[in-house]
Structure 1
């Protein structure tokens, strides 16, 4: 295994260039001082906004302050991620975080003030000042929460309860990340070693079924032992969601969660029901996997084993970038031109190095360009990670270039569409250009398992969340047994033919997303949307290319369902979901044929 490089050993053209945000720390400190001045100015409008002119003055100051803070925070975060061991950048990031807390406190009065206004008063303010047209959409967007806001006294009480009500999530995080210890497994030298999460993932992808079985039982052992404790934290989280929804006058916790994106509950229900109506392809894939692995029965610890043995493909970064470009040619000259330029323009931090943050992401402040962090290791997975993150980068770049600050940020609901479109176009390009049957099988297996994890598993989680919240609203007790009954039933529905070990019913106890309710369905709608868009593009539909680029340029200027509808994706209907499921079936058929 190669030792990670020192950052100084990496060529300049494979490192991002943060001087595009600030030429140095002196410029950062200058903007920090400006932010403090703007913060005091924004705070001074408390109890003084009594006209359109005053409202406009506050909003302009607040927007400038938000823009400046984003720039300060992103820069310090990116510097820190270059080498997390450097105390100077740790201090810089802490300083930025502290500023963020102060800013939030300084302008916390504005939302309650806005929602205390009568609509006629807000209309009058907007009529008085033409400059408020720029902020009009956001003001009315915020104003739609007015029916769900309580009296000032009650809002203050709820605000004070905020920290208390976050306890279930905090407690689970401490259990899951700090305190939990997994059982022992047999190491490579035959000695017993304590299992870690990283080790568990590697073992599940290995060919030794005895070790996979041992690791599965060791991994679940602490969750089973803590089932009642974790059930109480999850039940408390669900009860808080139900209580707050009732207090604020929402029909359900689900409706409250979807309210911000203007997504009707029928979209959520359609996703679940359409998937459950088309589970035959999953059954087919599980049968194929069982035969391919030569097993009489397939268990959960057999689901991650690659179906192509001894396959390795090394691809240097330069070749990977060129391969990605070739796969994305259907997106047109404008897209390709920016993507080509990004490679040598200080956007991407390519190599793993000592102290560098692990993983991959895309981030950047409005007014510069996106920055992409990679830890490229010359594997096929790294190629797909590159394509994924550059999808995010292109979405942000095109949005920032075509939208003002106020509407440039797109919502989480559509955030994974661009990244997944890139992945789908790339994998279809690779499938269409390789004659190597082993590579083809690997790619098909990769694509199938991506859909399985990003779509089927997330829909199952989404239905679990819906059921347990409905049980709570109906006054039913949420115990470990109650959670397990729901989870096991759903797992058997969404994974037909998989034989379940007793521990599996406690799968709910290890999912952090359940403490951020009704979030995971967005992964499923995202991949369904992306597959539909990519399929039309690959069919040569120029109209879809144009509407998709327009979507990328639209940022957050409209609600997400409307933006997607313009690309031909209507999530109010079953079609995008059924199209994804048909593709899944087709991919399984191709894998069987090989």
Structure 2
């Protein structure tokens, strides 16, 4: 496997090209100054919007500012993620964050103003100014928030607090990405080496149990050492969420989290209830795992090792890319052309290097193109990650191409559908073309583990968020003990009684960045269930599903997420898609145990 000691060593073709955003820092600075001027100009509209024309001017200038600001912020963020230790990039991002506060402060008067209008007044403005047709739907959507927007002065105060309220999340990010050191593990020659996240992901799947165990304890050690600090940051984040929900008059913090997507809380509760009702196959899988590994005691560090030994395909980045193009060919020639462009035009940052942000993501920048961060490791997981992020990437690209700026950004709720459809198409393709019974078993095993991670684990996380936020709403204390107890109870409920609990298990909550974005993770599970439904039909060549799905990818946020999905044949307000996804999981367990 290729490991690079510095970013300079990585081939140019495997680094994203940020020149597409800014070819030099002077241009970034020029845009920075221009945005400051634009923000000041927007302030002058305060109290001066009295007709359709002035309303249109404000909205048009606000959108122009937003376009520039997103580009500027994206550049700073991507620069930091190349190397989180680089102070010059950090100060760029700090500047962008300060600018963000200025911008939101200069526009904070607008929502209270808009919601002070009578609906018929707004309608008359729209009728008299042709340009407002473009903004009409958005303006009317804003009326949904009428109950939750405060007075002009209060909104101004809240916008000033923006940076302070993001401190828990920022602090955890710093602890998790910059400060945590995982200590040392021994390499194949018995020499001590520094453990990295990428290495941990590999070692926790190692067939040598001692290696897994050593990596597991080393990985959790800093989290246990910092448990009180991390508990304080998480508790702070949760209390902030609860306070904001109260200030903004939401019936509950959960309903605030779901309001933007217009998702009824029943969808969230139904997801948890339906999953727990059908949890038996997952418990059965835990038992199969224990038997197959021939263990007296199953520990958490035994939960990721592949059950089929001797199958560890090495998949180079080139090979992974080719496989992706073949696997996604049912989506049509245009889809594949977009993917080829990603590679040729350097939209992707491929390799793990010291200081680089861990994990993987896609960032679509309207009017430019998507940027994809990977930490590619030449293995099956990395192939799946590539396919997943490229799903997001094409979704961003098509939404930007077919939607105006105002509706180009799709909601997170539908985002995970696009990425997971790709993963399911990939696994179906691999299973169809693989003759070797051992590799087939390995793929099934991989699919099951991925199902577990993307569906069951996320539902468990969603329930953890729900429980901890409900405690905060009742003013109950949130600390290490409370988080541990809540997490451990849920872990047992979801994973069954076969696992022997090491001390580390209950600290699982301490390493999850998603908990700092409230009520977000459940969307992985609803997205996964929707994707299973769609991908199965696409793989079978169902022309109508392929057509409606590609339309869906071009839709951005032109409708509410649940409505967009209904057009493809998935209705998440009913338990059916969740039940179907759980049934598919049960079939996989059945097939795997027969093999």
TM-score above 0.5, yes or no: yes
1:216/1:391 CA distance change after superposition, 3 Å = closer
Which residue is 1:558 aligned to?
A: 559
Q: Which residue of 1 aligns with 2:59?
A: 59
**1:235-254 pair list within 5 angstroms:** 235-254=235-254
Structure 1 stretch 328-337 or stretch 91-100: which is displaced more? Answer: 91-100
Of 190-199 and 318-327, deviating more is: 190-199
Q: From the superposition, tell whether residues 551 and 316 of structure 1 become closer, same or farther in structure 2 (CA, over 3 Å).
A: same
State the partner residue of 1:436: 436
- SS of equivalent to 1:410: coil
Q: 1:84 to 1:244 in 2, by over 3 A?
A: closer
Within a 5 Å distance, the mapping from 1:352-363 to structure 2 comes to: 359-363=359-363
Q: Is the 8 A contact 2:283 2:495 kept in 1?
A: yes
Preserved CA contact (<8 Å) 1:5 1:352: no
For 2:511 and 2:22, locate their aligned partners in 1 and report how far apart those are by CA, in whole Å: 41
Match of 1:302 in 2: 302
- Describe how 1:69-468 pairs up with structure 2 within 5 A: 69-75=69-75, 77-78=77-78, 99-155=99-155, 158=158, 165-166=165-166, 168-169=168-169, 172=172, 200-213=200-213, 215-217=215-217, 219-220=219-220, 231=231, 233-350=233-350, 359-468=359-468
In 1, Cα distance between equivalents of 2:203 and 2:573: 41
Q: Is the 8 A contact 2:109 2:155 kept in 1?
A: no
Shift of residue 329, structure 1, vs aligned partner: 1.5
Does structure 1 residue 519 correspond to structure 2 residue 523? no
Change (3 A) 1:248 1:65: closer
SS in 2 for 1:263: coil
Whole-Å separation in 2 of the counterparts to 1:247 and 1:81? 34
CA shift in 2, pair 1:247/1:279, >3 Å:
same
For 2:512 and 2:81, the matched residues in 1 are separated by: 26
Output the CA distance in 1 between the equivalents of 2:318 and 2:226: 48
Change in Cα spacing, 1:72 to 1:227, as seen in structure 2 (3 Å) is closer
Aligned partners of 1:389 and 1:351: how far apart in 2? 14
1:590 equivalent in structure 2: 591
Distance 1:60 1:392, change over 3 A: same
Preserved contact between residue 74 and residue 364 of structure 1 (Cα < 8 Å): no
> What's the CA shift for 1:125?
2.3
Shift, 1:459, TM fit: 0.6
Q: Aligned-pair distance for 1:339?
A: 2.9
Task: State how far apart, in whole Å, the 2-side matches of 1:380 and 1:212 are.
Answer: 18
User: Structure 1 residues 190, 402: closer, same or farther in 2, change over 3 A?
Assistant: closer
Using the TM superposition, give the Cα deviation of residue 476 of structure 1 relative to its aligned residue in structure 2, in angstroms.
Answer: 4.3
Distance change (3 Å), C-alpha of 1:394 and 1:306: same
Matches within 5 A, 1:565-584: 565-584=566-585
Deviations 1:15-65 (A, max 9, x none): 555555556666656655654543343233222212211110011111111
* Pair 159,305 (structure 1): closer, same or farther in 2 beyond 3 Å: same
Alpha-carbon shift at residue 530 of structure 1 (Å):
1.3
SS in 2 for 1:144: helix
Verify the 8 A CA contact 2:35 2:69 in the aligned structure 1.
yes
Are the counterparts in 2 of residues 399 and 408 from structure 1 also a CA contact under 8 Å?
Answer: yes
Q: CA deviation at 1:547?
A: 0.7
Shift, 1:465, TM fit = 1.9
Distance 1:503 1:342 in 2: 40
Q: How many residues align?
A: 594
1:547 alignment counterpart:
548
Residues 240 and 82 of structure 1: is their aligned pair in 2 closer, same or farther, counting only changes over 3 Å?
closer
TM (norm. structure 2) is: 0.88
For structure 1, the residue ranges without an aligned partner over 5 or more in a row are: none
Change (3 A) 1:171 1:85: closer
State the Cα deviation string for residues 231-280 of structure 1 (Å, max 9, x = none): 55544544443343334322211111111110000000110011011112
SS in structure 2 of the partner of residue 298 of structure 1 = coil
Instruction: Give the C-alpha shift of residue 165 in structure 1.
Output: 4.8
Contact 2:308 2:441 (C-alpha < 8 Å) held by counterparts: yes
**Range that drifts further, 361-370 or 407-416:** 361-370
Alpha carbons of 1:492 and 1:87: their partners in 2 closer, same or farther (altered >3 Å)? closer
Sort the Cα spacing of 1:238 and 1:85 in 2 relative to 1 into closer, same or farther, 3 A: closer
Whole-angstrom CA distance in 2 between matches of 1:591 and 1:272: 25
Separation (CA, whole Å) in 2 of partners of 1:471 and 1:310: 47
CA distance in 1, matches of 2:418, 2:536: 13
Please tell me the root mean square deviation across aligned C-alpha atoms, in Å: 3.5
Q: Secondary structure at the match of 2:394?
A: helix
CA distance in 2, matches of 1:351, 1:194: 18
- Secondary structure (helix, strand or coil) at the match of 2:556 reads coil
Deviations 1:466-519 (A, max 9, x none): 223333434544454444333222111100132323443343344343333222
Cα deviation, residue 444, structure 1: 1.6
Q: Distance in 2 between matches of 1:7 and 1:172?
A: 25
Any conservation in 1 of the 2:538–2:545 contact (CA below 8 Å)? yes
